[in-house]
Every structure is written in structure tokens, then in C-alpha cells.
Amino acid sequence: METDNKKTARLTGILYLLVIICAGFSQGYVRGTLFVPGEPENTLANIVASEGLFRLGLTTDLIAFLLDAVIAILLYQLLKGVNKTLAIIAAVFRLLAHPAIASLNLLNHYMVIEAATSGGYLSVLGMEQQETWTMLFLQAHNYGYLLAGAFFGIHCLLLGILLNRSNLFPSIFGILMVFAAFGYLIETFGNIMIPGNEALLANIVGFSAAVGEVSLTFYLLIKGVNEPS
């Protein structure tokens, strides 16, 4: 029979997998394919031609952020025995990162639709200004994503420390989450301090997050937690 910790861990794994799928679809596929850096005309045309897909990206992002609020609490439940104060702080940073900052940042995603489509309020401004506002809101959304990433990076760092100290998980997952944390922090502060390296920084965070978060997700799904027989 599964213990409460195993049930909580497997539920966390299921929700985490859904978050990875939803957020990866929104950021990696929708915005990643429709947004053409330095080409506002093509970007605007892509969004207009794929408005339904762009709206779906907003929806899947919102679903991911709603699920992340639950994950924050479930991880706290699993790790509060290690250090209750640290587990609370880690949960707060995750709640601030996605359910708060990133969710509010979806307003910029929505305003891209308003700027780009013929039914939007900004359509009366003319094509050139539509292109300008579309790119501006996309850029604002990108930086909102980066700001959320700083909070999420701190969460991953604290989560890594908790995982490393916990007897419920192999210590390697703590190390991998710390690795993921530095990926998020490098991307955020790298883009702010040294702009122009977006592709490189995106690859860094993509690799580190995949190694840290995806491996933890599948461990939660398959194994759950380590517990005495």
C-alpha cells in the first residue's frame, strides 16, 4: 500500500509533468515559432494567421501557472520535515514566480493579440504602429518571463538544498535542482546585464532545467519517494 508521502509525490509528479508540457508548448512552440526576432512584419503576420494558436498558448500558460500553485504546496508538504522555514520560503518563491508574476505577465501576451489582430483596439493605428506595439508587448512579456525566472531560480536553489538534505530523495536531485537554479538566474541576469545573448542564455536554461526538473518529475512519477520498507 502506498504511503501518504508516495501519494503526494506521485500527484506532484503528475502535475509537474503537465506544467512542463503546457509551459513548453506555450513558450517553446507557440511564441518560439510565431515570434521572429528583428522581423516585426513577419511576426505580426504569423500571429494574425495563427490567432487561435496564440490564444491557446495563453491558455496553456495559465493552466501551468494554476497547477504550479498546487505544486508549491505539495512540495512544502513533502519537505517541511527537513526544515520547515526553508520549505515555506521555497514555496513562497515558487508562488511568486509563476502563480503571481508570470500570471500577471500574461496580460502582455493578451495585449499582443489586441495589438496584432484586426479586431483589437490598436488596429485603428495602422500597420506600422501595429507592428511596433506587437513587438513591444512581446518584449514586455519576455522580460516579465525573465523576472519570474529570477524568483523561480531562487525557489529551485532552495528546493535543491531541501532535496539534498532529505532522506526521501537521492541527493543527486538536490544537486541537479541547484544546477537548474543557476540556469534560471544566469538567463535572467544575463539578459538584463548583457543583452544580445538571448539564444545562448535560452539554451543554458533549457538544458539545466531539463536535467534538473524533468529528472525530478520522472522520479516523482515512477519512484515517488524513498521510504523504509
Predicted confidence at residue 226, as pLDDT, reads 82
Task: Give residue-wise pLDDT tens across range 104-142.
Answer: 999 999 999 888 876 666 666 677 788 888 889 999 999
> In the structure grid, which three cell numbers stand for residue 11, read together?
500527484
pLDDT of residue 104: 95
Parent domain of 156: 4-222
In this predicted structure, what is the pLDDT of residue 162? 97
Residue 193 domain-assigned (yes or no): yes
Task: Mark the ranges of the chain whose per-residue pLDDT is less than 50.
Answer: 1
- Tell me the C-alpha distance between 56 and 103, whole Å: 15
pLDDT, residue 229, reads: 54
113 in a structural domain: yes
* The total number of structural domains that make up the chain: 1
Cα distances (angstroms) measured from residue 13 to each of 140, 159, 217: 31, 15, 5
pLDDT score at 131: 84
* 112 belongs to a structural domain: yes
User: Residue 228: inside a domain, yes or no?
Assistant: no
Amino acid 123: pLDDT: 60
Q: Give how far Cα 78 sits from Cα of 11, 12, 177, Å.
A: 11, 10, 16
Residue at 9 is within a domain: yes
- Per-residue pLDDT, 228: 58
pLDDT at 130: 82
- For residue 117, what are the contacts with CB-CB under 8 A and spacing of at least 6? 47, 48, 51, 123
pLDDT of residue 118: 67
Task: Give me the pLDDT at residue 2, please.
Answer: 60
